[in-house]
Amino acid sequence: MTSDNLRPTAFIDSDHPAVQAFAAEHARGTSDRERAVALVYAVRDGFRYDPYRIDLSPVGMKASTVLSNGYGWCVPKATLLAAACRAAGIPARLGFADVRNHLSTERMRVTMKTDLFVWHGYTDIWIDGAWRKATPAFNLELCQRFGLLPLEFDGVHDSIYHPFDLSGHRHMEYVHQRGSFDDLPLDQILASFKEVYGGTLGSETGKGGLRAGDFLADVALEVDAGPKRA
């Protein structure tokens, strides 16, 4: 842990008034662990997960933008959690991994041409002398509607995606760890997205091939179909 894990940055804008207000409202508890746990759930469930509305512009990737939008995909939601922790005086940073996501949709398969999600984002939070991984992406409502195990966080154990859903279907596989960062490595993310997705999954101007769709409606179709997710 270093002082950089507490400072505001271009993307982890913990000094933004909206982020400060969010942290003050939700960082409840008598210890850093209790306050971090409260912030994880506030970000997880207060902002719906939507991988169709990806905006890779510098403004679109800021923590404060998630607050104004009311939704986000894994990376901006992890960035918001890191910013809220820093605003509450709790050291935090961003962690990334490449994952195979079996909660896919036909629109995603056509657009991405792969089930590999590069630079999946989570948050590293410094609690009781150790880094703990927290993944605030999938909000509770999404999990309940589509038979997923919600990710709980107790501030003691890492909270990362489950390999299977409630029905025993494959859910998430971690295939490559990219490490931890004190700020969002947007240039690296953009380069990887261009290489893996050919510029179809979001863009610098935020106009990706998925944006015309309705993620929840498309996932409902996949869940009804059943075997495609196995």
Query: What would the pLDDT profile of 102-117 be if each residue is shown by its tens digit?
Result: 667 888 878 888 888 8
The total domain count for the chain is 1
Whole-number average pLDDT of the chain: 86
Residue 230: the pLDDT is: 37
CATH number of the domain that 213 lies in?
3.10.620
Structure confidence at residue 229 (pLDDT): 43
Question: What six digits make up the tokens of 153?
Answer: 């966080």
What residues are paired with 130 via a beta bridge? 127
Gap between the Cα atoms of 230 and 228, Å rounded: 6
Structural domain boundaries enclosing 78? 3-229
In the prediction, which pLDDT does 199 show? 64
- pLDDT at residue number 145: 82
The 10 Å CB-count burial string (b at 16+, else e) for 118-143 is bbbbbbbbbbeeebbbbbbbbbeebb
Where is pLDDT greater, at 184 or 217? Answer: 184
For the chain, what percent of residues have pLDDT higher than 70? 85
Res. 198: pLDDT tops 70: yes
For residues 72-88, average pLDDT: 97
Over residues 129-147, the pLDDT tens digits come to 999 999 999 899 888 887 7
Model confidence at 208, in pLDDT bands (50, 70, 90)?
Answer: very low
The predicted pLDDT at position 166 comes to 61
Q: Which of 141, 119, 123, 162 lies closest to 40 in space, CA to CA?
A: 123
Task: Give the torsion sign (CA, 143, 54, 161, 197).
Answer: positive
What is the reported pLDDT for 41?
97
pLDDT for residue 79 is more than 90: yes
Q: Is the pLDDT of residue 163 over 50?
A: yes
